[in-house]
């Protein structure tokens, strides 16, 4: 199998060069910790996420393989990748080689850790590629051409802007502030303004519904802050937009600074072509407009904001010139 893997803070996507998306689920697994300290994976992805809200978690532990886009623990990542591969390739038993996306802001040590975990999980050979490059390829851009491209990825744990051309990264900015912080902002807003406690899953669902709902009212269920009883509240989409606004403004401010590093001709290229934007949180209401204003450049939203990195990584696997230029081993 020739796989492109986007191991994100929030979601893991695995794309096969020929078959397309094989796995697209939350980046979480539930493990049982036994006496010997060897962990056993009980559920991965959506199954694990579903368990979290239901099962008593005393004997189990929910484990996220990444924090803010980087590997925190080699053994955990190896276990996780193995479980994901098992799910992705249930019917096919063939050798696996892959390209894995890494954030531009990750250190050589961090991406070495990821490559090592992947090799130990049975993926050989494995190459790391900047997620921005992979996403660009997934959206049909050619990172080897002489023209400068600027892409922005707003994911769960991190937001990045990366400019590149002709096989090299020109500049990048990273901020560890993205969709997950927006969820927390919604959760806090409901507590303060509506005296309602909700879980992170409900807050995230509300955030996503508001993003696609324009300005209408939405109903959310939670617990009353005073009585602890379950109750419903009506929230306007505009309120949710207002709650996440400070976060998207901060993201835009940080990412826009990358323009300072670019020569005028590079900016002219991006002006002509537009800034490519992807990542789940790029869909938040108002973010594209804020970006357009902050950068002073036209913005183009990717058609597949959540899967273009994995798709592009799978395609990059067969593009030797591209991997020679941008790949990190
Ligand atoms: N339609 C939507 N509107 C707003 N936010 C969304 C939407 N869809 C997904 N999100 C948010 O996007 C984030 C996940 O995006 P994505 O899958 O690109 O992140 P990731 O790649 O896992 O994380 P990272 O790149 O930071 O490691 C989550 O915070 C999720 O709530
Ligand atoms: Mg991502």
Q: What is the CATH number of the domain that holds 78?
A: 3.30.420.40
- Sign of the CA dihedral running 164, 3, 324, 137: negative
Same-domain check for residues 130 and 239: no
Same-domain check for residues 252 and 168: yes
What is the model's pLDDT at position 95? 82
Same-domain check for residues 7 and 131: yes
Helix (H) or strand (E) holding 265: helix 264-273
Residue 10 CA: nearest ligand 1 atom is: 22
What is the model's pLDDT at position 232? 97
- Which of 221, 244, 267 is a domain's end point? 244
- Which of 211, 229, 244 is a domain's end point? 244
Residues 6+ apart with CB under 8 A from 237: 209, 210, 213, 214, 215, 216, 217, 218, 285
What is the model's pLDDT at position 59? 78
Same-domain check for residues 149 and 280: yes
- Could you count the other beta carbons within 10 Å of the beta carbon of residue 37? 6
What is the model's pLDDT at position 213? 78
For the Cβ of 276 lying below 6 angstroms from any atom of ligand 1, the answer is: no
What is the model's pLDDT at position 66? 84
Same-domain check for residues 155 and 11: no
Cα(72) to ligand 2 centroid in Å equals 16
- Nearest ligand, CA 282: 1
- Nearest ligand, CA 9: 1
pLDDT in tens, 204-254: 999 999 998 777 899 999 999 999 999 999 999 999 999 999 999 999 999
Cα(13) to ligand 1 centroid in Å equals 12
For the Cβ of 283 lying below 6 angstroms from any atom of ligand 1, the answer is: yes
Instruction: Give nearest CA residue, ligand 1 atom 5.
Output: 281
Cα(228) to ligand 1 centroid in Å equals 30
What is the model's pLDDT at position 93? 63
Same-domain check for residues 131 and 165: no
Evaluate whether 326 touches 313 at the Cβ level (below 8 Å).
Answer: no
What is the model's pLDDT at position 178? 97
The segments of the chain whose pLDDT lies below 70 read 34-38, 90-93
For the Cβ of 155 lying below 6 angstroms from any atom of ligand 1, the answer is: yes
- Which of 199, 218, 244 is a domain's end point? 244
- Sign of the CA dihedral running 144, 309, 14, 108: positive
Same-domain check for residues 93 and 197: no
Boundaries of domain holding 268: 141-177+245-301
What is the model's pLDDT at position 38? 66
Same-domain check for residues 263 and 234: no
Nearest to 207 by CA among 232, 224, 184: 184
For the Cβ of 26 lying below 6 angstroms from any atom of ligand 1, the answer is: no
What is the model's pLDDT at position 92? 55
- Sign of the CA dihedral running 130, 83, 158, 68: negative
Cα(228) to ligand 2 centroid in Å equals 36
Structural domain count, the chain: 3
Which burial class, exposed, middle or buried, applies to 235 when counting CB atoms under 10 A from its CB (0-12, 13-18, 19+)? buried
Cα(112) to ligand 2 centroid in Å equals 18
- Nearest ligand, CA 11: 1
Same-domain check for residues 98 and 234: no
Same-domain check for residues 113 and 50: yes
Same-domain check for residues 185 and 173: no
* CATH number of the CATH domain containing 231: 3.90.640.10
Which two structure tokens, joined as six digits, stand for 165? 């051309």
pLDDT in tens, 263-309: 999 999 999 999 999 999 999 988 999 999 999 999 999 999 999 99
Which two structure tokens, joined as six digits, stand for 221? 């269920």
Same-domain check for residues 21 and 119: yes
């Amino acid at each position: 199998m020739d796989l492109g893997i986007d191991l994100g803070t929030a979601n893991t996507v695995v794309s096969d060069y020929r078959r397309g998306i094989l796995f697209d689920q939350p980046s979480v697994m539930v493990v049982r910790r036994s006496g010997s300290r060897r962990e056993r994976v009980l559920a991965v992805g959506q199954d694990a996420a579903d368990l979290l809200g239901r099962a008593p978690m005393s004997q189990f532990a929910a484990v996220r393989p990444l924090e803010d886009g980087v590997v925190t623990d080699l053994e955990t990542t190896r276990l996780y990748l193995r479980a994901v591969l098992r799910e992705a390739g249930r019917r096919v038993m063939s050798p696996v080689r892959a390209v894995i996306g890494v954030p531009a802001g990750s250190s050589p040590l961090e991406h070495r850790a990821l490559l090592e975990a992947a090799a130990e999980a049975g993926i050989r050979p494995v190459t790391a590629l900047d997620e921005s490059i992979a996403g660009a390829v997934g959206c049909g851009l050619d990172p080897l051409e002489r023209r400068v491209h600027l892409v922005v990825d707003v994911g769960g744990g991190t937001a990045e802007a990366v400019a590149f051309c002709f096989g090299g990264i020109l500049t990048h900015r990273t901020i560890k502030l993205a969709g997950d912080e927006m969820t927390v902002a919604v959760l806090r807003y409901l507590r303060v303004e509506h005296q309602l406690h909700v879980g992170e899953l409900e807050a995230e669902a509300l955030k996503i519904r508001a993003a696609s709902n324009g300005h209408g009212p939405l109903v959310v269920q939670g617990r009353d802050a005073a009585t602890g009883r379950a109750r419903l509240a009506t929230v306007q989409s505009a309120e949710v937009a207002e709650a996440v606004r400070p976060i998207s403004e901060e993201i835009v401010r940080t990412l826009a600074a990358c323009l300072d590093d670019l020569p005028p001709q590079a900016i002219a290229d991006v002006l002509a072509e537009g800034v490519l934007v992807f990542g789940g949180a790029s869909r938040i209401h108002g973010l594209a407009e804020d970006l357009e204003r902050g950068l002073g450049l036209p913005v183009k939203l990717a058609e597949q904001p959540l899967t273009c990195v994995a798709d592009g990584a799978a395609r990059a696997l067969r593009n030797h010139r591209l991997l020679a230029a941008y790949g990190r081993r």
